Amino acid sequence: MVQAPAESASVPREAVVALTDAARLDAVASVLTEAGFSVRKAPDATSLAGALEGNSAAVVLLDTELTDGYAWEGTPVLLLVDLAGDFDLAQLEPWGIADYISYDAAARELTHRVETLIGRARERRRIRAEAEFLRESLRNVSAAIRGTNSPQQMAGHLVRGFGESLGVDHVWFTTFQDSRVPRISAQWCLPGHSKLPDTLGSFEEAAREQTTSLWSAAEALAVPDHQTEQSAALAEGLREWSGLGPVRASVALPVGEGETALGIVWIAQVAGPRDWTRAEIALIQHVAGNLAHSLIQGHLISAQLQVLQQLRELDKAKTDFLATVNHELRTPLTSITAYLDMIRDGAGGPVPAGIESMMDVISRNSDRLRRLIEDMLTVSQQDTPGTLSLKQVELGQVLRIVVAALRPLAESRNVTISGADSHEDVKVQADEAQLEQVFTNIVANAIKFTPHGGRISITFMSADSAGGSPCAAVSITDTGVGIPDQEIAQVFTRFYRASNASSAAIPGSGLGLAIAQDIVRRHGGTLDLSSVLGKGTTVSVTLPVDGPPAEDGGENDDAGPGGPTPGDESTG
């Protein structure tokens, strides 16, 4: 075992002799002086108190008349008594006095008893110091184990910490096959000793069964302290497995959680015998308990990190796939729409009346495909969002542009849109192109899910947020099919479509609201939705007048109304 700092042998031995009888005081002091002690004499209580100042005495000798008022913890006391009198030896314990001797004892006996008391006291201090030193060393081992999420590093801290703190020849640790922890092993040995095998090999099943038995009994197998038949089998099995030959002392320590052991620590001493103290066994059991808990936690964290890394890789693969698909779909779609426009312009000659209606179908579906491609591209860009191009935007103007673009679609379904022509002047700091996309997605959804003859109402006004800061509030209400209550929370999930929309074969990708919500959040605003099945839906958007907070916002390209308009194309 690593030794605690030892007491200095050069410190002079001091003895305090407190006797009320002057002749006896001088006689006892003379005996101790001849034995090499530095003696301070105390004929009364006052002198005794002064002699004990500083607590440097190695031993105190006194008679019964000077025992009151002192706590003798730590300093050995030899009481001088008259054995021929009526002294009651039972008084020694409450006084905290270690031993007694007769006034008439020979000088040699007196010196021997004093030396014995001092030796016992020194041994008790040594044991306490070593126990505290070991406790502090193993406390550091536990701290190192808790300071990492790597199971292999935990095992390394354990074997090295046990080896250096206990001063043994070998420390070896392994986990068994168990879903709670990874398979790891680690070992430490003093220089000059051969390494042990890396695994238990064919002995593992027997070792696991016997170790679990120890774990169930909440015991560590300390050899040669005690051995049952099964523990003896484990000790012998480990010795044969290790190939060490004679093992003078060892500890087999189960590492477990719940009802079964998940690993074993084997500590071996081959250089000489050793008696394992209860304090040592208790401390290493405590550290092993910390190891078991940390291994399980570390294994869970490692598994979570692996899953997170896999999710990141999948997300990147999805983003790359979307970007590639968008590029590959845009190229033929551009060609289709270009030739369609050329045919309509008469480049191929007059278009028969029947063909014109077919061309309208092609045009509408081309627009749908274009919007879907643009939504997918927007989703892939949201995963690595760029900077917002902020400027002062008139909200009413944005809404009027959106409604003008979507009015042909609304008229084809005989849906009325009202409220966008309000001339209230509401301005916000925002990315104009992205706001157009937000309201285009919301209004297009409202048109798509509103039956023929339905209505869409748009309102916008200045308001105050919950925190009291100025904001703009936009509300878009339709008389459409509505959304089932249990599905409202999911409509902002990418690619999610309400069950009634799917059953009615209403076309869509399930991306519009997810895109809109992301853009609104990046502006520091909120997007809320309320709906009544069969009666309609209201989508409410609030935007801070001063733009997003500094940590969320983008570059303010132009704070004035005359700044350049971003060139991003809004999605349909």
For residue 462, what pLDDT is reported? 87
Residue 11 CA: distances (Å) to CA of 16, 54, 55, 122: 16, 14, 14, 13
| DSSP-derived secondary structure letter, 558 | B
H or E stretch including 463? strand 455-464
- Cα–Cα distances in Å, from 335 out to 60, 323, 332, 338, 339? 109, 19, 5, 5, 6
CA distances from 554 to 386, 392, 526 (A): 8, 13, 18
pLDDT of residue 317: 81
Question: What is the reported pLDDT for 381?
Answer: 60
CA 413/CA 443 separation, integer angstroms: 14
* Burial label, 445 (beta-carbon count in 10 A; 0-12, 13-18, 19+): buried
Going by C-beta distance under 8 Å and a sequence separation of 6 or more, which residues neighbour residue 369?
A: 329, 333
| Among the listed residues 399, 424, 430, 383, the one whose alpha carbon sits nearest the alpha carbon of residue 525 | 430
According to the model, what pLDDT value does residue 90 have?
66
Give the separation between CA 251 and CA 219, rounded to whole angstroms.
11
**CB 568, CB 433: distance < 8 Å:** yes
Residues 501 and 481 sit within 8 Å (Cβ to Cβ)? yes
User: Could you list the pLDDT tens digit for every one of the 572 residues in the chain?
Assistant: 445 545 544 445 889 999 998 999 999 999 999 999 999 999 988 888 888 877 678 888 888 788 765 655 667 888 888 777 666 666 666 666 778 888 888 999 999 999 998 888 888 888 788 888 888 888 898 899 988 888 999 999 999 999 999 999 999 999 999 888 989 999 999 998 999 999 999 999 999 999 998 898 888 888 765 455 666 788 889 989 999 888 888 999 999 988 889 999 999 998 888 888 888 888 889 899 899 988 988 888 878 888 888 888 887 787 777 777 766 776 677 778 777 878 877 777 887 877 877 887 787 778 777 777 776 666 666 655 567 788 999 998 999 999 988 888 888 889 999 987 776 778 999 999 889 989 988 998 899 889 999 999 999 988 887 777 899 999 999 999 888 888 887 787 766 666 555 554 455 556 778 888 888 998 999 999 999 988 999 999 999 998 888 755 454 444 333 333 333 333 33
Q: So what's the pLDDT on residue 86?
A: 67
**What's the pLDDT score for residue 569?**
35
Q: Pull the structure tokens for residue 410.
A: 């609304």
CB atoms within 10 A of CB 537: 25
- Tell me what pLDDT residue 339 has: 79
Domain spanning 132-302: which CATH class is it, in words? Answer: alpha beta
CATH code given to domain 14-129: 3.40.50.2300
Fold held by 388-544: Heat Shock Protein 90 (3.30.565)
In 262-352, which residue ranges form alpha helices assigned H by DSSP? 278-344
Bridge partners of 171? Answer: 188, 267
Three-state SS annotation for 30-80: HHHHHCCCEEEEECCHHHHHHHCCCCCCCEEEEEHHHCCCCCCCCCCEEEE
Tokens for 59, please give them: 């031993």
pLDDT (0 to 100) of residue 505: 46
Overall size of the chain counted in residues: 572
CA–CA distance, 526 with 520 (Å, rounded to integer): 6
Strands (E), 86-224: 99-102, 170-175, 185-189, 221-223
Angular region, 480: left φ>0, alpha ψ -120 to 50, beta rest: beta
Sequence spans of domains, the chain: 14-129, 132-302, 388-544
Q: What is the largest CA-CA distance in the chain?
A: 145
Distance between CA 542 and CA 524 in Å, rounded? Answer: 9
Buried b vs exposed e over 470-480: b needs ≥16 C-beta within 10 Å?
ebbbbbbbbbb
Nearest to 295 by CA among 264, 267, 251: 264
Peptide bond into 224 cis (omega under 30): yes
Q: What is the model's pTM?
A: 0.50
Other Cβ atoms less than 10 A from the Cβ of 549: the count is 10
| Residue 455 and residue 415 in contact, taking contact as beta carbons nearer than 8 Å | yes
- CA pair distance 424, 402, nearest whole angstrom: 17
Q: Do residues 4 and 135 make contact, with C-beta atoms less than 8 angstroms apart?
A: no
Output DSSP code: residue 491: T
Question: What is the predicted pLDDT for the residue at 9?
Answer: 45
